[in-house]
């Protein structure tokens, strides 16, 4: 096995600030000999004689003047069963800024180099312990803010996604082998699979990629949240709905139409998916300047929203203005919210010709809270519809992966077309090789230094 780099790197691996413990991680060929200059065991043999994956209590001393810096618990992990596959020493200091900085300083003056952002994980990747999707999952795991995000990240960390991608790549490679054989031995009478079989194999791959791509929608929702705009005429109860969903008095509610002017943004979580709610100004021909701007913001919110909650007042006759807005509003997921169900209804559902674009209608009272749960369940159903459950199956949460999967799919489709029209094998092989490269770039088998640099620079120092 070729090991990447052999200089020894070190960094503070825990968050900076006060904490119970803080960890300095050292990795590389000289990790143990560097540590030996800084940590002094209380008794017994030197570090070199210690068993791998053992811990001991030690004094941390400055190798330059011999002064004591801290008292620490030190763990020794020898290659290859470590995070980086190199020798790793971790010094568990007290979690104070001074103790950590001084210990790191001591380790650096003992011969280690300050690690770059993500360098430990980069080494784990370059030394072959994990593939690129797993390395990327490390940062997603750290950044997870919801249960669903964490589940998806950990499943990717454990190789769930890599396995799926490899499965697809293997099939493409099988077809490529057949196509190449047909090129190489075209004069000989060698048995290759008939074109129809190759076509079917590629078609299966196409479906497998498609399935992965459908999870990307949910992946993006999990990672970035779902933008949800609350829209409607003035005074229908948009701000009241925001407050009801948040279960707190966040936005100002008054009987005066035109109360909300700015966009008010708050996040709630439904089934582990963050919903970024935007309460907006009621849409109407506004007379004053401030409200006009508010109305423009509202219209922009609709455009960038994935879910639009279109609110009407069920206790008042539907106006031409409501109907006009109803037909104008567009969005990926449109839900009609008939508010004020605690008051006598002024119209029935039948009276309203709801455009097909609306996926559901919910009657509720933002004032009493009746029906709020129904709305939440409706949103939840929509978010889960068409996408697999987060647990167990691989989800594409990364835009880079999504992009590459799309390229690979385009290649597979092109190859199918070429096979169908009986084009020369050389051309088909080239297209398939490109598709295979795209898939390899996801797992990191065929990835350039620039891409690696971009990925690992997003990491924190010490990871
Ligand atoms: N009875 C009843 N009144 C409600 C309900 N929801 C809101 N209201 C009242 O309707 C009025 C307007 O509510 P808001 O939440 O400020 O309405 P809005 O759509 O945000 O209004 P603008 O910000 O002006 O566009 C207030 O007096 C609320 O108390 C409801 O479910 N039932
Ligand atoms: Mg309002």
Mind giving me the DSSP string for 255-276?
Answer: SSTT---S-EEEEEEETTEEEE
Model confidence over 279-319: pLDDT tens digits? Answer: 999 988 888 888 888 888 888 888 888 899 999 999 999 88
434 lines ligand 1 (CB under 6 A): no
Range 395-402 average pLDDT: 92
Q: Which residues contact 197 (CB under 8 A, 6 or more apart)?
A: none
Three-state DSSP at 162 gives helix
Rounded to whole angstroms, the maximal C-alpha distance in the chain is 88
From 232, 233, 235, 322, give the residue whose CB has the most ligand 1 atoms within 8 Å, as the site to mutate: 235
Q: Looking at residue 328, what is its pLDDT?
A: 83
Q: Looking at residue 323, what is its pLDDT?
A: 85
- Determine what percent of the chain is predicted with pLDDT higher than 90: 68
CA distances from 101 to 8, 58, 93, 113, 267 (A): 18, 17, 10, 14, 37
- Determine what percent of the chain is predicted with pLDDT higher than 70: 96
Q: Looking at residue 38, what is its pLDDT?
A: 97
pLDDT at residue 101 tops 60: yes
Calculate ∠ Cα 98-101-103, nearest 5°: 100
The rounded Å distance from CA 95 to ligand 1 centre is 50
Range 70-81 average pLDDT: 96
Q: Looking at residue 56, what is its pLDDT?
A: 94
Closest CA relative to residue 398, chosen from 318, 327, 454, 445: 454
The rounded Å distance from CA 244 to ligand 1 centre is 11
pLDDT at residue 389 tops 70: no
Work out the number of other CB atoms within 10 angstroms of the CB of residue 206: 18
Whose alpha carbon is nearest atom 14 of ligand 1? 237
Range 379-400 average pLDDT: 72
Whose alpha carbon is nearest atom 1 of ligand 1? 340
Three-state DSSP at 20 gives strand
Return residue ranges of the chain for CATH 3.30.1360.120.
Answer: 9-130
pLDDT at residue 2 tops 60: no
The rounded Å distance from CA 363 to ligand 2 centre is 19
Q: What residue ranges in 180-327 does DSSP mark as E strands? A: 226-232, 264-270, 273-279, 307-313
Topology at the third CATH level for domain 139-220+398-444: 1.20.120
- Tokens representing 419? 């096979």
258 lines ligand 1 (CB under 6 A): yes
Helix residue spans in 62-146 (DSSP H):
97-109, 119-126, 132-143
CATH number assigned to the domain covering 9-130: 3.30.1360.120
The lowest-confidence range among 1-5, 72-76, 344-348, 374-378 is 1-5
Q: Looking at residue 318, what is its pLDDT?
A: 85
- Its sign, for the CA torsion 414, 416, 418, 423, is positive
CA distances from 61 to 89, 117, 300, 441 (A): 16, 26, 60, 45
Range 25-41 average pLDDT: 96
Q: Looking at residue 391, what is its pLDDT?
A: 40
316 lines ligand 1 (CB under 6 A): no
Work out the number of other CB atoms within 10 angstroms of the CB of residue 346: 13
- Tokens representing 434? 């490109």
pLDDT at residue 59 tops 80: yes
Output helix, strand, coil percentages for the chain, rounded to the nearest 5.
45, 20, 35
Strand order across the beta sheet in which 273-279 lies: 264-270, 273-279, 226-232, 307-313, 333-339, 358-363
250 lines ligand 1 (CB under 6 A): no
Residue 323 CA to residue 320 CA, distance in Å, equals 5
Tell me: cis bond preceding 123? Omega within 30 of 0 counts. Answer: no
Closest CA relative to residue 109, chosen from 147, 149, 60, 156: 60
Q: What is the DSSP letter of 117?
A: B
pLDDT at residue 100 tops 90: yes
Q: Looking at residue 190, what is its pLDDT?
A: 65
Closest CA relative to residue 389, chosen from 214, 224, 134, 227: 214
Model confidence over 179-191: pLDDT tens digits? Answer: 998 887 766 666 7
pLDDT at residue 1 tops 50: no
Model confidence over 191-244: pLDDT tens digits? Answer: 778 889 999 999 999 999 999 998 887 888 888 888 999 999 999 999 999 999
pLDDT at residue 392 tops 60: no
The rounded Å distance from CA 302 to ligand 1 centre is 20
Whose alpha carbon is nearest atom 8 of ligand 1? 237
Range 114-118 average pLDDT: 95
CA distances from 212 to 139, 381, 385, 397 (A): 21, 20, 15, 10
Q: Looking at residue 329, what is its pLDDT?
A: 85
For 231, phi then psi, to 5°, come to -130, 155
First to last CA, the chain: 23
- Averaged confidence pLDDT in the chain: 90
Q: What is the DSSP letter of 461?
A: B
pLDDT at residue 388 tops 60: no
Return residue ranges of the chain for CATH 1.20.120.430.
Answer: 139-220+398-444
pLDDT at residue 390 tops 50: no
pLDDT at residue 386 tops 70: no
Residue 340 CA to residue 312 CA, distance in Å, equals 9
239 lines ligand 1 (CB under 6 A): yes
Q: Which residues contact 401 (CB under 8 A, 6 or more apart)?
A: 133, 161, 216, 442
238 lines ligand 1 (CB under 6 A): yes
Q: Kindly give the number of the ligand 1 atom that is closest to the alpha carbon of 252.
A: 16
Return residue ranges of the chain for CATH 3.40.50.300.
Answer: 225-384
- CATH 3.30.70.1290 is held by the domain 225-384: no
- Tokens representing 14? 């825990």
- Its sign, for the CA torsion 107, 113, 114, 119, is negative
Work out the number of other CB atoms within 10 angstroms of the CB of residue 333: 20
282 lines ligand 1 (CB under 6 A): yes
Q: Per-residue confidence at 5, pLDDT binned at 50, 70, 90? A: low
Quote the crossing angle between the two packed helices 372-384 and 195-224, to the nearest 10°: 150
- Tokens representing 35? 């540590």
Q: Looking at residue 324, what is its pLDDT?
A: 85
Nearest ligand (C-alpha, residue 313): 1
Residue 252 CA to residue 260 CA, distance in Å, equals 7
Whose alpha carbon is nearest atom 27 of ligand 1? 255
Range 92-118 average pLDDT: 96
Note whether 336 and 312 are within 8 A (CB): yes
340 lines ligand 1 (CB under 6 A): yes
Q: Looking at residue 188, what is its pLDDT?
A: 66
Q: Per-residue confidence at 153, pLDDT binned at 50, 70, 90? A: very high
Q: Which residues are close to ligand 2, an ion, with C-beta < 5 A?
A: 238-239, 259-260
Nearest ligand (C-alpha, residue 258): 1
């Amino acid at each position: 096995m070729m090991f990447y780099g052999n200089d020894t790197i070190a960094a503070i691996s825990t968050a900076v600030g006060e904490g119970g413990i803080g960890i300095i991680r050292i990795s590389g060929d000289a990790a143990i000999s560097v540590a030996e200059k800084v940590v002094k065991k209380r008794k017994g043999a030197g570090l070199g004689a210690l068993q791998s994956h053992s811990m001991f209590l030690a004094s941390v001393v400055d190798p330059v003047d011999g002064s004591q810096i801290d008292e620490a618990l030190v763990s020794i992990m020898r290659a290859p069963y470590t995070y980086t596959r190199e020798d790793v020493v971790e010094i568990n200091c007290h979690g104070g800024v001074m103790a950590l900085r001084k210990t790191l300083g001591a380790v650096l003056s003992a011969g280690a180099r300050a690690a770059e952002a993500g360098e430990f994980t980069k080494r784990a990747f370059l030394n072959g312990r994990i593939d690129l999707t797993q390395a990327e999952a490390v940062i997603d795991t750290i950044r997870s803010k919801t249960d669903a995000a964490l589940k998806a990240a950990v499943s990717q960390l454990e190789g769930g996604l890599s396995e799926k991608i490899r499965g697809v790549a293997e099939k493409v490679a099988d077809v490529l082998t057949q196509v190449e054989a047909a090129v190489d031995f075209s004069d000989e009478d060698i048995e290759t699979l008939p074109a129809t079989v190759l076509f079917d194999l590629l078609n299966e791959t196409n479906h497998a990629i498609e399935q992965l791509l459908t999870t990307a929608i949910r992946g993006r929702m999990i990672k970035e949240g779902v933008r949800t705009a609350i829209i409607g005429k003035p005074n229908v109860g948009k701000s009241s709905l925001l407050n009801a969903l948040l279960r707190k008095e966040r936005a100002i509610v008054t009987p005066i139409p035109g109360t909300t002017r700015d966009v008010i943004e708050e996040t709630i979580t439904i089934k582990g998916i963050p919903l970024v709610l935007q309460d907006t100004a009621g849409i109407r021909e506004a007379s004053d300047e401030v409200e006009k701007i508010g109305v423009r913001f509202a219209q922009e919110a609709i455009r960038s929203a994935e879910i639009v909650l279109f609110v009407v007042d069920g206790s008042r006759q539907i106006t031409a203005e409501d109907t006009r807005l109803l037909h104008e509003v567009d969005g990926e997921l449109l839900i009609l919210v008939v508010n004020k169900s605690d008051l006598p209804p002024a119209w029935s559902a039948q009276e309203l010709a709801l455009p097909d674009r609306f996926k559901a209608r919910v009657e509720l009272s933002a004032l009493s809270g009746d029906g709020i749960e129904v709305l939440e369940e409706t949103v939840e159903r929509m978010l889960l519809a068409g996408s697999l459950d987060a647990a167990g199956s691989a989800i594409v949460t990364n835009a880079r992966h999504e992009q590459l999967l799309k390229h690979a799919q385009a290649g597979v489709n092109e190859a199918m077309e070429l096979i169908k029209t009986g084009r020369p094998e050389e051309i088909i092989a080239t297209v398939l090789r490109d598709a295979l490269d795209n898939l390899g770039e996801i797992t990191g088998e065929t990835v350039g230094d620039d891409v690696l640099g971009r990925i690992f620079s997003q990491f924190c120092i010490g990871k």
